[in-house]
Structure 1
């Protein structure tokens, strides 16, 4: 069962979360399996920590106009890594090191050839100047060329007047490359608006004005004229700004007041329109359809007080498609807040959330309706789902007017979006023939599209509950166990109270690439010193500087490590599948052992003798690791195994369950017997081999280990010593006395239990 823990934010921790909230959520999930939601904190826009990826897929044309020269200028929401155009523009730095943001995404999608070509250009020609652009091969990208352009980087928004000529120069340089290479289509992002801190509205204006001047101001001398300039970005905020700039600068005659636009709509247009609004990380879409047909992660139902699904049009439709099992489930499931969760059965979603609202005439009915929608959204986020579909709750038997229902439901979504960092698609699905409800929701969505716009009626208050105060700054953690929440809380406390120095011990630092080290060097631009150490088998990065900047830098390093570890696990999984001739993935599971079983009692008694109390016992089941372990037995001709223990950091328990044992997961305090994978014969000995500092919880892995033929180990061994006089035959393991064994192949050990203890 999931656990929850709230952490108040004060002082510098608020500023750290403002800068790093979304990345912090990803790190907590990767390290501890915890999800984080944030209240009372507004995030700074467009943070790129380490290797951030775009989740948007599918091109969407938002605007287009043809200039007098014949060049079409269009605005698109699309992923630049997937566009089949003559050239895609990369927002590059002067050294052409593609280590963050869009540059990293293009380089990763296009493969290593993009970085190799860039490095070759720098070696031959030196760094690019701000405003310059070069053209090169696209690697594996679907476009024909890639244009690397260097826009201005602002350290202070007040410098924008001096930076604007350099952004103009960068756009002109791009268009020069288009002309010289006779390209017909080129996709240009909002250069400098992301990592380079150029204010977005001014960036959009400058790009559009420069394109207009290039193709109209010197039209008669231009030479080659392309067919289309595509202004492409993947986030709605940037797309909206580019569309605004194009309408104002290129086609003011096409701008139509909202009232006139509404008046011109026909019934057929209303039937097919799907208004969409982006609010922070939430994409809100209004659509017509049948709620029971939606393939979202969650479908929301509004249930009657007696929980009979045969009452109400929506409930009946869901019951008919899901089958009678859903009626039994809703009757036998306890509510969580205002929501009852059931399986989906034959519905196309993963779960159904049944809300329990009250009639409009009842006291506090508006607040119950608002809270029901809010609970559905937060439960969706806590389950790491990505999409949820609502009907027009309240407009049927609950007797709310269409306008009231739309106002309350949209406000709940808006409040959720302002306080959650998780990306989510929220759909309001209106029955196809209900034009009045669709129009009511469409009208209420208009105020969401204006950054500071008023409510639809001046007399209406924005908040349906005016006594509700803005929540105080805090992080709400949800996790699979109390122990995981404790580890996440402890790690956050260390981060927020750094006092200007943070040490990060993690042997995956040894797997950092050249690009990762370039990223590390860039951390020092904000007054942070970075030192790397490797002593006694332990890799460490030490950060020193202003406490806030050190904390932000530490999060960047942690994000890099999470990315490296994810790639490591993927590579190991691929090798396991190749060796085992298994399927397409490695299935594994950690099954909780009930405390009342004899299995738990036997383990608890053994650990009690070492002064430890087992708080949680998980049994590891991984058929692929079992198969490889058996193959190793046959290869070594060793069928006797030893029950041994390894102590691991909390963040690596899941990795051990997934891909087995590796030296990076748990380096001993002193690798005195070689650079391999260490095991101890008892939990007591394991606490000596892996010493901790005032830890509340200790994590042990019990394993079957194939020690085979063994000899005493010594410092610096990377393989066991030769067996006899044959140099190609080696011992199976080395030892450190009778109670320590060191193996050099992770497949010689099979994880059986993850044991969480307290002293």
Structure 2
């Protein structure tokens, strides 16, 4: 049976967005934890959250100790290798980076100065791990650097580095001390490479309690960093080396050393690896730095590069698309064809480009009437998306100047969009306009002069910075969260979750079996949460829960912290499983979810199947994963080509991509009652699946269909962690267990291969 056109239209879901207004206490909650909330929404639902009208505080995980200094960036430049070097005045106990360097002594006793401050803020784990290390390995030597856990500090790791200590009671050997400090900095950078850290905060080691002369200290640190990354022998390059101190003399000396050593060879602005130079100073607008330079868009080293293409997604048309395609390789074209639309943007990997992502827009593929407005909104949407995904830099070509716009028009519209974005931008962002010809460069340069004049007379009021027609984009009258996602159902799932969270009466229950993966670090973090919130962890019938109770605001903040911890655990779990999968399959681990057209016979058949159980099939997707398929075939051979069945598993929305990526695991979808063992459950019919996994008032239900190797099966029973033995030999076990005719349980995820994902809604 084929569906009617009307029903096809009703079933079709399109990517879109939803505005969730914030009122009363919810504004204060989002103010304190906006970054954490955005991270959780991205991980759980694949939605990008853009928060407007809210003045943010520091990240929730940095709230353990209120910063005594507002972080200030004093200087930034890029080395030829693409590594950014910046100078900050900030409090290292509350700064944000992957790792922080502690100026340690040889015995790792953290008393006095920075070491004591980091140890006190990070909790008892800092000193305890240090003591354990010394107990097992002995004291360190000057110049050594080791990596340990960061405890409650807002870092992934802490690098304890021993710099040279000078005494003024005897004549110090400055030359020897300088060499030892160089060795210390190289040891730190070796650890950055070893642990593949992206960002590391380094203070003026040895200059305080260790009495190393501050000017020479700054010069030595900066020159060593420069020389280390100019050797080009490293297998890993970090994104940024942050030279951070909380006292003005140290900050001033670091800035002085950077300017003397680094800017003598480099322009003071972004990516020395990129072609072209900025011929005029960058324009600072709030947290936004607007940079104009000549060059090729495909050579930029920014986090994001913006491309423009047509709705046919053909990158072989248009100068910018062709240039990016030639540099990135054919994988870019395939990714564009396969990618979901997020609002008006397609996001892909940069592949051989020097960027993390490419944003493909369609802003010139509209009628003449809406061209100006569409360009403004497209630039603005790219900027908001980059900020929401925590990118620090984005590069735009001169969009549409080849055929759609006069050069002056494009310059004005794009510059005004950046200025409009700058009014609400909460984090530092570099925006690069990359121009290829002189006339266009002059047009953009003229517009930057105009914006500079406006900046000098006001703080960029709305006047003159609106979309270029009567339908103007204004700052929201009330604070709001704008959600952008792959589909309407993901947005609705996210909206429902936000509403339930922010409107909590003081009790939150988090159901997620990855709670069982919490270790010492996570429990230390939990112990550091608000003391007004009580936390109870339970495990019943195969389900892990965490119940939080307290005042509504404190409970929501603590709940978000727990959700963020779960996100991080799941990311590490996926990373480890993907690595194992890649080794077994000898292939790059990748997957593709391909939507099945509603008009196809196969969709119609499955639609009827779900309809019988009171479910409306909204979407059907096939799953392609060569690595999983290879390992599944190997498992089938191992089980002597045993029989297989096509079966269903009902799964939470947040695990649909995960199961497509790394296959099935017991953590994703525990049944309502694990009556047949502690394995991975599958049901033979939709009706059976609805019984195995009880509905918990969800709006959408998600089913994964898999080919399951059931083989020789035995009756299951509670508590089984492996199939029972066949006969007297304990090493010969059944392939699976069953409960009745419609439920099977396997104990290895590689015995199941995901084939389809069904998104359903109750009729």
TM-score range, shorter chain: 0.5 to 0.7
- Residue number in structure 2 paired with 1:19: 32
Q: How far apart are 1:517 and its partner, in Å?
A: 1.1
Q: How far apart are 1:558 and its partner, in Å?
A: 0.9
**Which residue of 112, 118, 121 maps to 1:92?**
118
The 1:703/1:391 distance shift into structure 2, 3 A limit, reads: closer
**Which residue of 116, 127, 130 maps to 1:118?**
130
Q: How far apart are 1:739 and its partner, in Å?
A: 2.3
Structure 2, unmatched stretches of 5+, are 1-13, 65-77, 89-94, 109-113, 154-159, 168-175, 187-200, 226-237, 261-275, 327-340, 467-471
- Residue number in structure 2 paired with 1:557: 562
- Residue number in structure 1 paired with 2:166: 179
Retained in 2: the 8 A contact 1:184–1:226?
A: no
Retained in 1: the 8 A contact 2:512–2:544?
A: yes
Alpha-carbon deviations, 1:220-239, whole Å to 9, x = none? xx9x9896366999989997
Q: In the alignment, does 2:565 pair up with 1:539? A: no
The 1:619/1:455 distance shift into structure 2, 3 A limit, reads: same
Q: How far apart are 1:559 and its partner, in Å?
A: 1.1
Q: In the alignment, does 2:715 pair up with 1:712? A: yes
Number of residue pairs the alignment of both structures matches: 631
- Residue number in structure 2 paired with 1:693: 696
Retained in 1: the 8 A contact 2:101–2:161?
A: no
Q: How far apart are 1:300 and its partner, in Å?
A: 5.8
Retained in 1: the 8 A contact 2:307–2:360?
A: yes
- Residue number in structure 2 paired with 1:641: 644
Q: In the alignment, does 2:57 pair up with 1:31? A: no
Rounded Cα–Cα distance in structure 1 between residues aligned with 2:651 and 2:421? 37
- Residue number in structure 2 paired with 1:193: none
The 1:551/1:390 distance shift into structure 2, 3 A limit, reads: same
The 1:283/1:3 distance shift into structure 2, 3 A limit, reads: same
Q: How far apart are 1:483 and its partner, in Å?
A: 1.6
**SS in structure 1 opposite 2:660?**
helix
**SS in structure 1 opposite 2:647?**
strand
Rounded Cα–Cα distance in structure 1 between residues aligned with 2:43 and 2:50? 15
Q: How far apart are 1:377 and its partner, in Å?
A: 3.4
**SS in structure 1 opposite 2:731?**
strand
Retained in 2: the 8 A contact 1:49–1:559?
A: no
Q: RMSD of the TM alignment (CA)?
A: 5.7
Q: How far apart are 1:98 and its partner, in Å?
A: 9.7
Rounded Cα–Cα distance in structure 1 between residues aligned with 2:493 and 2:133? 46
- Residue number in structure 1 paired with 2:606: 603
The 1:455/1:398 distance shift into structure 2, 3 A limit, reads: farther
Rounded Cα–Cα distance in structure 2 between residues aligned with 1:705 and 1:363? 55
Rounded Cα–Cα distance in structure 1 between residues aligned with 2:691 and 2:579? 34
Q: How far apart are 1:418 and its partner, in Å?
A: 5.1
The 1:227/1:718 distance shift into structure 2, 3 A limit, reads: same
Retained in 2: the 8 A contact 1:14–1:473?
A: yes
Rounded Cα–Cα distance in structure 1 between residues aligned with 2:447 and 2:246? 24
Q: In the alignment, does 2:53 pair up with 1:40? A: yes
**SS in structure 2 opposite 1:750?**
strand
Counterparts of 1:285-324 in structure 2, within 5 Å, are: 285-291=291-297, 294=300, 297-299=304-306
Q: How far apart are 1:663 and its partner, in Å?
A: 0.8
Q: In the alignment, does 2:631 pair up with 1:628? A: yes
Structure with greater Cα Rg? 1
- Residue number in structure 2 paired with 1:456: 456
- Residue number in structure 1 paired with 2:724: 721
Rounded Cα–Cα distance in structure 1 between residues aligned with 2:309 and 2:714? 69
**Which residue of 479, 488, 494 maps to 1:488?**
494
Q: How far apart are 1:534 and its partner, in Å?
A: 1.3
- Residue number in structure 1 paired with 2:6: none
Retained in 2: the 8 A contact 1:641–1:704?
A: yes
The 1:444/1:531 distance shift into structure 2, 3 A limit, reads: farther
Rounded Cα–Cα distance in structure 2 between residues aligned with 1:149 and 1:723? 46
Counterparts of 1:177-576 in structure 2, within 5 Å, are: 178-179=165-166, 182=177, 183-185=180-182, 228=220, 246-247=251-252, 275=281, 284-291=290-297, 294=300, 297-299=304-306, 350=358, 353=361, 355=363, 370-371=376-377, 373-378=379-384, 388-391=394-397, 409-417=414-422, 419=424, 425-431=430-436, 433=438, 440=446, 443=449, 455-457=455-457, 463-465=463-465, 469-471=474-476, 472-525=478-531, 527-576=532-581
Retained in 2: the 8 A contact 1:443–1:456?
A: no
Q: How far apart are 1:393 and its partner, in Å?
A: 6.8
Rounded Cα–Cα distance in structure 2 between residues aligned with 1:50 and 1:574? 34
Rounded Cα–Cα distance in structure 2 between residues aligned with 1:694 and 1:757? 13
Q: How far apart are 1:507 and its partner, in Å?
A: 0.6
Rounded Cα–Cα distance in structure 2 between residues aligned with 1:529 and 1:282? 41
Alpha-carbon deviations, 1:33-81, whole Å to 9, x = none? 1111112122213554799xxxx995545679xxxxxxxxxxxx99786
Retained in 1: the 8 A contact 2:32–2:57?
A: yes
The 1:137/1:686 distance shift into structure 2, 3 A limit, reads: farther
**SS in structure 2 opposite 1:722?**
coil
The 1:356/1:384 distance shift into structure 2, 3 A limit, reads: farther
Structure 1, unmatched stretches of 5+, are 65-76, 104-114, 125-133, 154-172, 189-203, 256-269, 304-308, 324-335, 448-453
Alpha-carbon deviations, 1:523-543, whole Å to 9, x = none? 144x22222111211111111
Retained in 2: the 8 A contact 1:137–1:146?
A: no
- Residue number in structure 1 paired with 2:754: 751
**Which residue of 647, 651, 659 maps to 2:654?**
651
Rounded Cα–Cα distance in structure 2 between residues aligned with 1:343 and 1:501? 40
The 1:408/1:748 distance shift into structure 2, 3 A limit, reads: closer
Alpha-carbon deviations, 1:451-476, whole Å to 9, x = none? xxx82246985642589753131111
Alpha-carbon deviations, 1:85-123, whole Å to 9, x = none? 999987733385699xxx9xxxxxxxxxxx985251699
**SS in structure 1 opposite 2:564?**
helix
- Residue number in structure 2 paired with 1:579: 584
Rounded Cα–Cα distance in structure 2 between residues aligned with 1:735 and 1:151? 45
**SS in structure 1 opposite 2:732?**
strand
Q: How far apart are 1:405 and its partner, in Å?
A: 7.6
Rounded Cα–Cα distance in structure 1 between residues aligned with 2:758 and 2:28? 37
The 1:78/1:600 distance shift into structure 2, 3 A limit, reads: closer
Retained in 2: the 8 A contact 1:149–1:174?
A: no
The 1:342/1:573 distance shift into structure 2, 3 A limit, reads: closer
What TM-score results when the alignment is normalised by the length of structure 2?
Answer: 0.67
Retained in 1: the 8 A contact 2:345–2:382?
A: no
Retained in 2: the 8 A contact 1:92–1:149?
A: no
Q: How far apart are 1:184 and its partner, in Å?
A: 2.4
Alpha-carbon deviations, 1:180-234, whole Å to 9, x = none? 794425779xxxxxxxxxxxxxxx9xx99x9699969xx8xx9x98963669999
Rounded Cα–Cα distance in structure 2 between residues aligned with 1:286 and 1:379? 21
